[in-house]
């Protein structure tokens, strides 16, 4: 597990990752997480790494029979991820493992050091039609993100900052059709 020090990772998130990882790994996808804070204005959960709604009819998605439906967010949360032994070995064997290669690589999400060197595991063997390997489980009937993929940012530093675009989109409005 890689994580920033101000993130709460519930046990249900870890078990959801463990259940989905074998099937996702076969497709070069990884179980991603989304990060929330509590809005100081409304008390509702707000998305930290998403400022615009995601249209599930046009965003990259995957359906894995018996596992679930997954959607790729345009700005995936990379400040926390889990990797299987196999995934970590692949990352360590890849040129992205070295700082100079990670910093020189072209990615759709930019980033600098040190953050970028931790993100690069999400850019190994990206499947066609995706920007990264990271996908979030969601319910296509209710068009909502799976609560088991939610982690919490504990200091509520973004949603209270009026000059910061993050932490303003209510979680229940994250997905659109």
The whole-model pTM stands at 0.88
pLDDT of residue 56: 95
Hey, where are the domains in the chain? 2-89+133-176
Closest CA to 7 of 117, 81, 70, 75: 81
Alpha-carbon distances of 4 from 20, 106, 144, 149, rounded to whole Å: 23, 24, 25, 16
Instruction: State the number of CA atoms in the 13 A half-sphere of 153 facing the CB.
Output: 23
pLDDT of residue 1: 87
pLDDT of residue 49: 85
pLDDT of residue 99: 83
What is the Cα–Cα distance from 91 to 53, expressed in whole angstroms? 31
pLDDT of residue 16: 97
pLDDT of residue 123: 86
Q: Where are the alpha helices (DSSP H) in 94-155?
A: 99-104, 115-119
CA angle (94, 100, 102) in 5-degree steps = 50
- Cβ 51 vs Cβ 171: under 8 Å: no
Per-residue pLDDT of the chain (177 residues; tens, 9 = 90+): 888 788 899 999 999 999 999 999 999 999 999 999 999 889 999 998 888 899 999 999 999 999 999 999 988 887 788 999 988 899 889 888 888 888 888 887 777 766 677 788 888 889 999 999 999 999 999 999 999 999 998 877 788 888 877 788 889 899 998
């Amino acid at each position: 597990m890689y994580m920033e020090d101000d993130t709460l990772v519930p046990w249900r998130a870890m078990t959801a990752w463990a259940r989905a990882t074998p099937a996702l790994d076969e497709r070069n996808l990884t179980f991603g997480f989304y990060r929330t804070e509590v809005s100081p204005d409304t008390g509702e959960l707000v998305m930290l790494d998403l400022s615009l709604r995601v249209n599930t009819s046009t965003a990259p998605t995957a359906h894995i029979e018996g596992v679930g439906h997954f959607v790729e967010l345009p700005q995936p949360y990379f400040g926390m991820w889990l990797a299987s032994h196999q995934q970590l070995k692949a990352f360590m064997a890849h040129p992205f493992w070295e700082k100079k290669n990670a910093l020189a690589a072209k990615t759709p999400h930019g980033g600098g050091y040190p953050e970028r060197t931790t993100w690069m595991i999400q850019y190994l063997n990206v499947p066609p039609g995706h920007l990264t390997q990271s996908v979030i489980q969601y319910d296509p009937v209710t068009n909502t993100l799976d609560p088991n993929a939610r982690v919490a940012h504990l200091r509520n530093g973004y949603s209270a900052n009026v000059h910061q675009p993050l932490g303003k989109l209510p979680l229940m409005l994250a997905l659109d059709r």
